[in-house]
Homo-oligomer: A and B are copies of this chain.
Amino acid sequence: MKIALDGFGGDHAPLAPLQGAALAVKEYGVEVVMTGDEEILRKTAKKHQIPLDGITFVHTTDVIEVEEDPTSILKEHKNSSMAVALQLVRDGEAEAFVSAGSTGAIVIGASLIAKRIKGIKRAIIASCIPSKTGHYLLVDSGANVECRPEMLCQFAIMGCAYMSRVMGIENPRVGLLNIGTEDTKGHELQQTANQMLKEMNINYVGNVEAREVPLGACDIVVCDGFTGNVMLKLTEGLAKFLLGGLKQVFLKSFKSKLAYLLLKDGMNEFKDKLDYTKQGGAPLIGIAKPIIKAHGSSNAEAFKNAIRQAKIYVEQDVIGTITEALQELKEKEAEEA
C-alpha cells in the first residue's frame, strides 16, 4: 500500500515526517511517497541517518503556511507539498493522504482536489478524544461552522463507519451534544436533529450534556463544527491547565519531589492515556479518499501513527461503509416518502 505524505506540513517538518515515514515503512510494511523539496529531504535524511527504503519523493518546492488563506491551495499554492500529495491520491498514485499542515487548507484541498463521497454534503474533521472509558469521536470538530440537521445526521453515519471499522467499537453509541437531555433543549438545529437521529438505523442514545462526555456517555458526539471546535480546544486547554497545576504540586518541596518518584510509572501511564500522538491524527471523513490530518506539533511517533491510521482506513474500507450507509438511508427515506 502506498501512502502520500506531505513532507513539509507541521511544526517539525521535514525531519519528523521523514522519521515517521521510515518507522511506518519498517513497522507496517507500507510504501510512502513524500512530497517536498527533494534535495532538502535527502539531505535531512542523510544527516539524521534515516533509512529511505520504501520511501520515494515527488519534488516540489512550494509550501502552504498555516497562516495563509486556505483557498490558496487551489491557486497560488497548487504546486505546494500538500496540494501535490492530494493530487497523487486523486490520481490513484497513492491510496491515502497524511499531512500535519494547515487544517483549513486540507479541508478545502481535500474537498476540491480529492472530492467528497457522492451524496455527502460536507466533509468533517473527526477528533478521537480520551475519556474515562476509552475514547470518543467528536464529529464535527471544526470543519463546518454552519450546519443543518441533515448534515448532523450524515456526521453520525460517518462517525459510526470510522468508530466501527477503524477503532473496532461494535455498534458505537451516538449522542447529540446538547445543553440538557430533554427534546426541547438547544437551538432548532439540535431539536430537529434529535428527532431525525431517533429515526435512523444507528445506536442513538439521545441528547448528551458536555459534562457526561469525558465520563464516557457515548462513543460518538455529534455537533456543529463551531461547538465541536470549542469542545476540542477547551479539552486541550483544560488538560494543560490541570496537568500544569499538578506539576507545580510535584515541584513544591523535597517531599513532593520524592512523591513524584514513587508515582512516576502510574503518572506516565495516565499521561500516555491522554496523549494525542498515540491516536495519530484526525481523519477528514466524507472525502472519497482516506485523508488524515496529523496534529501540527506531531513528532516522528505521531506521524508513524497517522500513517498506520491511514492504512487501517484503507484496509477497512471506511469509504465503502459510508457509501453503503448513505444508500441505506436514502432507500429508507424513499420508502417512507
| Min CB gap A219→B, angstroms | 15
Do B226 and A213 have beta carbons less than 8 Å apart?
Answer: no
Inter-chain contacts of A241 with B (CB < 8 A):
131-132, 214-215
Among A248-256, A291-299, A322-330, the stretch in contact with B: A248-256
Which B-chain residue is minimally distant from A182 (CB atoms)?
A: B67
List B contacts of A249 (CB < 8 A): 263, 266-267, 269-270
Interface residues of A in 239-253 (CB under 8 A from B): 239-246, 248-250, 252-253
Chain A: interface secondary structure? helix
A260's nearest neighbour on chain B, judged by CB, is: B259
- CB of B230 within 8 A of CB of A245, answer no
A234 x B211 contact (CB < 8 A): yes
Minimum CB–CB distance for A77 against chain B, Å: 19
- Nearest CB of chain B from residue A166's CB, rounded to whole Å: 23
Chain B residues lying within 8 Å of A179, measured Cβ to Cβ, are: 142, 145, 225-226, 229-230, 233
- Stoichiometry, as copies per complex, reads 2
Q: Which range holds the interface residue count of chain A? A: 35 or more
Residues of the B chain whose Cβ atoms lie less than 8 Å from the Cβ of A267: 249
Closest residue of B by beta carbon distance from A188 = B146
A244, B145: Cβ atoms closer than 8 Å: no
Q: Which 9 A-B pairs have the closest CB atoms?
A: A259-B262, A210-B234, A211-B233, A259-B259, A211-B237, A210-B233, A249-B266, A214-B241, A179-B229
